[in-house]
A and B are shown apart, each in its own frame.
Chain A
């Protein structure tokens, strides 16, 4: 079974670059692409990155994703106050035949 591990929190000042990690197993991240979701306070999640590094239309290019081996990461460059939110990594797990979410990372803009 795939488990995705994220740091509980991350922070930065406006304009800084913040990176969030998502680590997993060889049967999880090692085998499947990773998606990232942003959840603003009181709102539904929003797809931010899909297939490791693809941005849906409307997502600023300040957000970027990557995957290597059994880890993935989300980078936010030029951090802005409106980026203060929870961020979740997720992937499709072949053994569960379902979606697995990471525990989420709360990003604070100082």
Chain B
């Protein structure tokens, strides 16, 4: 079945970097944009950015510009989110989510990963 499986929980110190992976299965990885969304403890959903797995093109929410990198490895159908210069307020669950429609960046997010908890603490 169509699913996204993310890497496990991480604990990082302030100033460090974290890389979260998101492995896709059950569909053509390069046919659907992948978005990243995070959720701080007890808070709402916050959109971070997207990657086009076919071209590698990316875009991000302004607040993450310069700190986040989205990449993919098409040979293993996996997307990655790399967040640098971590701060305590980056503590959150990070989700990857697939766009519902093919070959468009504007649609609903229909398949979500299980989430990866990233804790930033000294």
Contact = CB atoms under 8 A, between A and B. Distances in A.
Interface of A: 32, 35, 37, 39, 44-47, 50-51, 56, 86, 88, 90, 92, 96-104
Contacts of A88: 44-45
Nearest to A54: B108
Interface string B81-122: 000000000000001010010000111111011110000000
Contacts of B106: 32, 92
Contact of A101 (B47, B100, B105, B110): B47
Contact of A44 (B46, B59, B108, B115): B115
A101 B113 CA distance: 18
B49 interface: yes
Interface string B44-62: 1111011000000001111
B59 A98 contact: yes
B72 interface: no
Contact of B47 (A32, A100, A103): A100
Contact of A45 (B50, B60, B112): B112
A101 B49 CA distance: 13
Given A35-B109, A45-B37, A86-B44, 9 more contacts: A44-B115, A45-B95, A45-B97, A45-B112, A46-B112, A50-B108, A98-B49, A98-B60, A103-B44
Interface of B: 35, 37, 44-47, 49-50, 59-62, 95, 97, 100, 105-110, 112-115
A46 B44 CA distance: 14
Nearest to B60: A98
Given A96-B61, A98-B47, A99-B35, A50 B95 contact: no
A50 B44 contact: no
A72 B115 CA distance: 28
Contacts of B109: 35, 37, 45, 47, 90, 99
